[in-house]
Amino acid sequence: MSAIVLIRHGETEWSRTHRHTGRTDLPLTPQGEAQVRQLRRRLQSLGGFAHVWTSPLRRASDTCALAGFVTVSRTEPKLREWDCGEYEGLTLEEIRARRPGWNLFRDGCPGGESPRQIGERADALIAELRRLDDPGGAVALFSHGHFLCALAARWIGLDVREGARFRLDTASFSVLDVEHNTDAEPSIAAWNVSESYSGAPRNPAVIGRRRSDRISVPSSQCA
């Protein structure tokens, strides 16, 4: 199958202040909109997309629109963010004050979604992507940090809890692909490619060379 490009939405007020944002439908900040304008140039350099799907939540759908894909996009409810239930709007420090050692990808959220439920949703989405008739190009998915990390873990056959090991910044893109043209060898061809990454060390994005014929991703910084 063709490569799948995962796009995390631009900055919101809660992502800026590190508050868990599941079902709350926040807009992008002005900085988030500026991030997406930069992201748009990077996505255009990848070439056209055969399919563009977006979460129904406005921070993702607005990112899709600002990136220039509103007229060709389809809303996909399975791309919505992890429902944080009783922990909605809380920072990690506030949650751990109530529940020491808590980890979203291992423990889930009371009143929200469990890792098992997220895994089932991710698996259903992957199955739907694999049922696409030869799309003739990459597929773009506009979604959210926690869900996309879980999706990437499931793509390469890991448990959802391993999604905690992935870092995904706002207005970044990543690429899921396969090796040797077979779904039996899923791979991550690039991860957390963005203009705004500020972590260390700053290394070029790692691109799967053997699959460079599938999608061209320009060099950038990634986690």
How far is the first Cα of the chain from the last one, in angstroms, to the nearest whole number? 26
Task: Judge contact between 217 and 46, C-beta under 8 A.
Answer: yes
Residue 99's SS3 state is coil
Catalytic residue among 76, 81, 113, 144: 81
Tokens of 84: 């944080």
144 catalytic per annotation = no
Q: Give 98: exposed, middle or buried? Use CB within 10 Å, 0-12, 13-18, 19+.
A: exposed
9 catalytic per annotation = yes
CA distances (Å), origin 74, targets 52, 65, 160, 181:
6, 11, 26, 26
Residues, the chain: 223
What sections of 110-158 are H helices per DSSP? 115-130, 145-155
Tokens 């949703």 sit at which residue? 121
Query: Does residue 56 have a cis peptide bond before it, meaning omega lies within 30 degrees of 0?
Result: no
Tokens of 191: 């991860």
Tokens of 210: 């053997």
The residues assigned a catalytic role are: 9, 81
